[in-house]
Amino acid sequence: MQKQPILIAPSILSADLLQLEKQVKTLTENGADYIHVDVMDGHFVPNLTFGPNMVKALKRITNVPLDVHLMISNPDAYIEAYARAGADILTVHQEACTHLHRTIQSIHNQNVKAGVSLNPATSLSTIENVLDDIDLLLIMTVNPGFGGQKFIPQGLKKIAKARKMIDTEEHDILLEVDGGVDNQTVESIVQAGARVLVSGSAIFGRDDIVKAMKQLKEKAENA
């Protein structure tokens, strides 16, 4: 299978919310591949963030795909709302879904790409039986809930294992990594097999967010 290109997904969790429109436009006009939207409910994760209205507002200012990461309990109840709001990819957590296969079907029924995410402690074996059904696999390399946390190095083994699973069966799945992706960690993450890189603080925490994003992409492409 041909090697997929590297895609960068800046996470607006770390954006300056008072400058959000400007920052999103600046990044999307300068090569951001996705905009990553972290949805948190204060229940599945100990933090609260954005709802469907945020997705709707972003949709008005960019055509770049919106990569919506649902860190919420009972995601089934909100799939339609996020699809209507304009999500292009909807990623649910395996840990939040009792009937994961059904949830994936519900996302596809809305004509949206379906992703599944795994917390650091969750085994890849939990999604083995849905590999034929998903468009994206998101490996968390921090415990979800906050930006700016330290990369958990054990994640590298899991990324490599996921890459193998995807390639062996020739699944057409994007392998995305989220948490602690920065100039120090990006090379090993890409070498392990990730192709979609979420980055919050390593982009928005810098004065020149475009330069930061470009540096990260360059490092990833040369890894």
Cα separation, 155 vs 132, in Å, equals: 23
Residue closest to 139 by CA, chosen among 63, 54, 196: 196
CB of 22 to ligand DX5, least distance (A): 19
Catalytic residue among 41, 67, 88, 178: 178
Contacted entry of ligand DX5, Zn ion, none for residue 145, CB cut-off 5 to 8 Å set by kind: ligand DX5
Which amino acid is residue 19, in one-letter code? Q
Smallest distance from the beta carbon of 169 to ligand DX5, in angstroms? 27
N-to-C CA span, the chain: 19
Q: Is 135 an annotated catalytic residue?
A: no
Give CA–CA dist 41/137, Å, rounded: 21
Phi, psi of 188, deg, nearest 5: -65, -30
Between 85 and 198, CB nearer to ligand DX5 = 198
By CB under 6 A, name the one of 32, 35, 38, 156 that touches ligand DX5: 38
What would the two tokens of residue 54 be? 């945020």
Verify binding: residue 88, Zn ion, rule CB under 5 A. Answer: no
153: how many CB neighbours lie within 10 A of its CB? 11
Whether the Cβ atoms of residue 81 and residue 106 lie closer than 8 Å to each other: no
Query: Which tokens go with 94?
Result: 């395996």
Closest residue to bound Zn ion by CB: 69
Q: Which does 180 bind (CB under 5 to 8 A by kind): Zn ion, ligand DX5, none?
A: ligand DX5
Q: Scanning the structure block, which residue is given the tokens 């200012």?
A: 61
38 catalytic? Reply is yes
195 binds, among Zn ion, ligand DX5, none (CB under 5 to 8 A by kind): none
Going residue by residue from 50 to 69, which x/- string records binding to Zn ion, judged by CB under 5 A?
Answer: -------------------x
Nearest distance in Å: CB 178, ligand DX5: 5
Q: Residues 51 to 110: which contact ligand DX5 by CB under 6 A?
A: 69
Single out the segment in contact with ligand DX5 by CB under 6 A; choices: 72-80, 85-93, 125-133, 176-184.
176-184
DSSP H or E segment with residue 156: helix 155-168
Round to whole Å and give the CA distance between 79 and 66.
14
Closer to ligand DX5 at the Cβ: 47 or 167?
A: 47
Minimum distance of Zn ion from residue 138's CB (angstroms): 7
Residue 93: phi, psi to the nearest 5?
-90, 135
Q: Which spans of this chain sit near ligand DX5 (rule: CB under 6 A)?
A: 11, 13-14, 36, 38, 69, 142, 144-149, 178-181, 198-202
Active site residues: 38, 178
